[in-house]
Structure 1
Amino acid sequence: MWKIHNKLLIYILWIMEIRLVSSFTSAMLCGRIPGLTMAQRQLCSDMPDALIALDEGQQLGSRECQQQFRGHRWNCSGVWQRNVFSHVIPIASREAAYTYAIASAGAAYSVTAACARGNISTCGCDVRHKAAPPDWKWGGCSADVDFGMRYTRKFMDARELERDSRTLMNLHNNRVGRTIVKKLLRTDCKCHGVSGSCVMKTCWTSLPPFSVIGDKLMQKYHKAKTVQAVRGKRGLRLVLSRKKHAAAAAAAGAGVAQKPALVWPKRMELVYLEASPNYCERSIQTGTLGTAGRPCNRSGHGPQSCDLLCCGRGHNTQHIRRKQQCRCQFHWCCSVECELCDENYEEFTCK
């Protein structure tokens, strides 16, 4: 874990250095950050102050991913270890779909927030608004989410160099992630008037807590669709899996089996190409860390229960005894005195 934090610290120092130097020097420094494509290095040189926001967005996405999948067999750990601006899951699974979407959402979210704070010289508050109702007016600093989405699209999509089915899947899920940020914008208002009478309100658009975005993408994760790539007049495109549509038609009593029509996935649903592994055992090929050594709940029934998390291998039980403060009393004035008590508990980990 220390190695990961140390690597992030190096990247952040590079980014801070880039912000303080000339464009010529920033181009040289952008070239030193590992994992960037040529297009990303150019974007870094053109707008070095946006790179700090992108770094914050990647960390935001990483933390939210781990929070959403805590206790699951796959818990989003190790996904962002290679470098700050890249996350690699070899298998094109439902989990890969979520990580690309949450990373793209985190980037769009952080760039938009940085614009509102004045941390990026080429953007600021959004001054374009639709007509307001008669009892309020636009004011304050509205989030310029369109700028955040545009820059994120350029930077995040620039790493998808191959024109294959996996690239199409990643680009689709990237779009879902950044678009969900715009769809979940909220309108905040402040009242004006005598004694809080709210004769008039000033309103602006603002970003929601990022956990709201993580929750929404988690709902889409559970409803994600299996797709496959087909080649047509416009080149390679993603369509919903033919096998599932054929099975659905047969179950509906469609009669003679016919070649199912091509159905495009909806723009706002996550898509994936391959079924997920069980994530029970460590596998370099699939990027799976396994569940051995993970803490589990012996009496629970959810994904963190020992039965599910340990994949039938059983669990180890460790009896732990520790001292902690107890029976604390407040004495006037002003101190708290506590006793030390022994606490005995059991900890369960997967074999």
Structure 2
Amino acid sequence: MNFLPSGICFYVSVAICWLPAKVHASRWYMGTLGSQVMCDNIPGLVNKQRQLCRQHPKVMQVIGAGVKDWISECQHQFRNHRWNCNTMGRDQNLFGRLLLRSSREVAFVYAISSAGVVYTLARACSRGELNTCSCDPTKKGSSHDAKGSFDWGGCSDHVEHAIRFSQIFVDTKKREERDARAIINLHNNRAGRKAVKRFMNLECKCHGVSGSCSVRTCWQAMADFRHTGDHLRKRYNSAVQVAVNQYGTGFTAAHTHFKQPSKNDLVYLEDSPDYCIRDQDSGSMGTGGRVCNRTSHSMEGCEVMCCGQGYDMSRVSRTTKCECKFHWCCAVHCRDCHQQVDVHICKGQT
């Protein structure tokens, strides 16, 4: 099994390389020499990141494998948007030149990737996949909530450990750069990490006579990553355009009538392109070839999605399961129903 899809190097805030297909996952277990060779060949890392990579090769593997999850979440959140978090498979950078800007979309990419690192690492700790961490060791003894007292038990997700590692590894390069974009990206990294922590849930199991719940055992668990994605998408919608101060140490709202950004807000420096036409310099893939909804007036509607350039219609046949019936015991039998549907596709730039 390959470590990651072939031939793609990904560098956002995480600086993880998607290694060529010939590199096998087992090479992460070759010991000190093997991890040193591997980490020295990941482009874009600064010295401190390379040191951490050599010290924690299994952690790097876990984070790298989790990249697909946050990219999938990003694409879900923007599936009906002109910019749909599309990646460029043959580019050294998954998002092309988009990341050279400091737009609202880039703010989301940094936040969701940082959140993804925390979520993936905390989950791996709880599952016992890493020898450097496990369940949250601070969740011991007794505590209480609105329902009364309980005993800590089970395995609480060690989010604080994941956040600390993410801060050390992910933020290191940006801390060294300290230009305007680095300051903005560090802020959005932090907002992403805070979003994961925001959705920690207390889960409990009842004990007692006939399930009376006279005694409870509880643990802290992360909510599904979809909650984090939904939250960051809302933050994207209300993101604040900012200007960096003359000392390059902080920022403030770019316009006096804008609210001052909080630690939870996403921030950006530059206006976004319209993403209507393919433009490699801005990282826009254009909307030509995208499916649109002819009857909608929202972002997924053909007028908006296709940027007024028109669309083509084709009739396709789709097969779905229908007339399903339950048969005792224990099967469900369905018919294959064929349906002709109209599909609308945005025209490309003319």
Shorter-chain TM-score: what band?
0.7 to 0.9
Q: CA deviation at 1:172?
A: 0.5
Moved more, 152-161 or 169-178: 152-161
Q: Is the 8 A contact 2:86 2:95 kept in 1?
A: no
Instruction: Name which one, 1 or 2, has greater alpha-carbon Rg.
Output: 1
Report the AA paired with residue 208 of structure 1.
A
Within the alignment, does 1:207 sit opposite 2:196 as a pair? no
Gaps of 5+ in 2: 9-17
1:105-130, Cα deviation, whole Å (9 max, x unpaired) = 00011111111112121111112148
SS of alignment partner, residue 60 of structure 1: helix
Within the alignment, does 1:122 sit opposite 2:132 as a pair? yes
Moved more, 340-349 or 325-334: 325-334
Distance 1:292 1:193, change over 3 A: same
Q: Which residue of 2 aligns with 1:111?
A: 121
Report the AA paired with residue 78 of structure 2.
F
Moved more, 24-33 or 164-173: 24-33
SS of alignment partner, residue 220 of structure 2: strand
Aligned partners of 2:115 and 2:337: how far apart in 1? 46
Q: Is the 8 A contact 2:191 2:264 kept in 1?
A: yes
SS of alignment partner, residue 141 of structure 1: coil
Distance 1:340 1:43, change over 3 A: closer
Within the alignment, does 1:135 sit opposite 2:149 as a pair? yes
1:204-230, Cα deviation, whole Å (9 max, x unpaired) = 101110000001111111111111111
2:82 to 73, 78, 84: 73
Q: Which residue of 1 aligns with 2:284?
A: 288
Q: Is the 8 A contact 1:238 1:264 kept in 2?
A: no
Report the AA paired with residue 159 of structure 2.
V
Q: Which residue of 2 aligns with 1:144?
A: 158
- 5 Å-filtered alignment, 1:219-258, equals 219-232=234-247, 235-241=248-254, 244-245=255-256, 248=257
1:99 to 81, 102, 109: 109
- 5 Å-filtered alignment, 1:1-351, equals 5-7=5-7, 10=19, 14=23, 16-78=25-87, 82=91, 89-129=99-139, 132-133=143-144, 135-160=149-174, 161-232=176-247, 235-241=248-254, 244-245=255-256, 248=257, 265-321=261-317, 343-351=339-347
Q: CA deviation at 1:166?
A: 0.5
Query: Whose strand proportion is higher, 1 or 2?
Result: 2
Aligned partners of 1:94 and 1:340: how far apart in 2? 44
Q: Is the 8 A contact 2:126 2:135 kept in 1?
A: yes
Aligned partners of 1:324 and 1:112: how far apart in 2? 39
Aligned partners of 2:187 and 2:123: how far apart in 1? 24
Give the TM-score, by structure 2 length.
0.84
Q: Is the 8 A contact 1:224 1:272 kept in 2?
A: yes
Distance 1:111 1:13, change over 3 A: farther
Q: Is the 8 A contact 1:187 1:206 kept in 2?
A: yes
Distance 1:187 1:18, change over 3 A: farther
Q: Which residue of 1 aligns with 2:11?
A: none
Aligned partners of 2:56 and 2:94: how far apart in 1? 16
| RMSD of equivalent CA atoms | 3.0
1:157-188, Cα deviation, whole Å (9 max, x unpaired) = 13324221111111100011012111221111
Aligned partners of 1:122 and 1:340: how far apart in 2? 51
Q: Which residue of 1 aligns with 2:15?
A: none
Give the TM-score, by structure 1 length.
0.84
Gaps of 5+ in 1: 250-262
Q: CA deviation at 1:80?
A: 7.9
1:115-156, Cα deviation, whole Å (9 max, x unpaired) = 111212111111214861263111111111111001111221
SS of alignment partner, residue 6 of structure 2: helix
Aligned partners of 1:52 and 1:342: how far apart in 2? 44
Moved more, 329-338 or 90-99: 329-338
Q: CA deviation at 1:30?
A: 1.6
